[in-house]
Amino acid sequence: MEYPSKLIEDAVNEIAKLPGIGKKTALRMALHLLRANEERTQLLADSLVNLRTKTQYCTHCHNIADAPVCAICSSSKRDKQTVCVVENTTDLIAIENTSQFNGLYHVLGGVISPLEGVSPHDLNIDSLINRVKDLSLDIKEIILALSATMEGDTTSFFITKKLRDYPVKITTIARGVPIGSELEYTDEITLGRSILGRKAYEH
């Protein structure tokens, strides 16, 4: 595509590096900024730079934080005996939005993936072990909330093995037929697992 201005071209190329954004969408965004108030662009640019340069990571759970300890880890209302292990902050936010979990988190920063060159050492697994080891923290349960993929399962297996010798209960989130979906459209593996993982009917 030919652009009428080098400045537009630069902006489009930079915007199009964001995930899920193609050149056409990037151009629409660039032209939108050109039409809007100059202040808007400045605010956007500043917020991005601030995000990248000022964000900290919680020293306990590795969640993104505004302080050395994140709001969840420092809250007195959370159940500190239960730790939910997640892949990244997006998953943490997704679980927080369910309002069904009141414990702490541990953000791994990824999952073990030999194909992408991610080994256990690249993840925050050692610090998880250290949290469990530290008896003053009194962690009773580790919930593994990783994706239902080969990589997620491998990571869950690895963590379970590492934690075998500690007096902590290890659970994983339930796998099964998603709420609202019809049986005939559910894939075989999910359906199979949901039969194997059947639960007593609550009545």
Judge whether 107 and 61 are in contact, CB under 8 Å: yes
Judge whether 97 and 91 are in contact, CB under 8 Å: no
Residues 21-40 that bind a copy of itself (CB under 8 A): 21, 25, 27-34, 38, 40
- Check binding of 118 to a copy of itself (CB under 8 A): no
Q: Which of 78, 80, 89, 194 binds a copy of itself (CB under 8 A)?
A: 89
- Check binding of 43 to a copy of itself (CB under 8 A): yes
Q: Which of 59, 80, 83, 92 binds a copy of itself (CB under 8 A)?
A: 92
- The secondary element (H helix, E strand) that includes residue 141 is strand 141-144
* Beta bridge pairs of residue 170: 142
- Check binding of 47 to a copy of itself (CB under 8 A): yes
Rounded Cα distance, 17 and 33, in Å: 17
Q: What angle do CA 96, 173, 70 make, to 5 degrees?
A: 30
Rounded Cα distance, 172 and 143, in Å: 5
- Check binding of 113 to a copy of itself (CB under 8 A): no
Rounded Cα distance, 46 and 78, in Å: 33
Q: Which of 17, 121, 164, 199 binds a copy of itself (CB under 8 A)?
A: 17
Q: Which residue stretch of 86-94, 113-121, 141-149, 172-180 sits at the interface with a copy of itself (rule: CB under 8 A)?
A: 86-94
Rounded Cα distance, 145 and 100, in Å: 13
- Check binding of 46 to a copy of itself (CB under 8 A): yes
How many residues sit in the footprint of a copy of itself (CB under 8 A)? Answer: 58
- Check binding of 98 to a copy of itself (CB under 8 A): no
Which positions touch a copy of itself (CB under 8 A)? Answer: 1-8, 10-11, 13-15, 17-21, 25, 27-34, 38, 40-55, 63-66, 70-72, 88-90, 92-93, 96-97
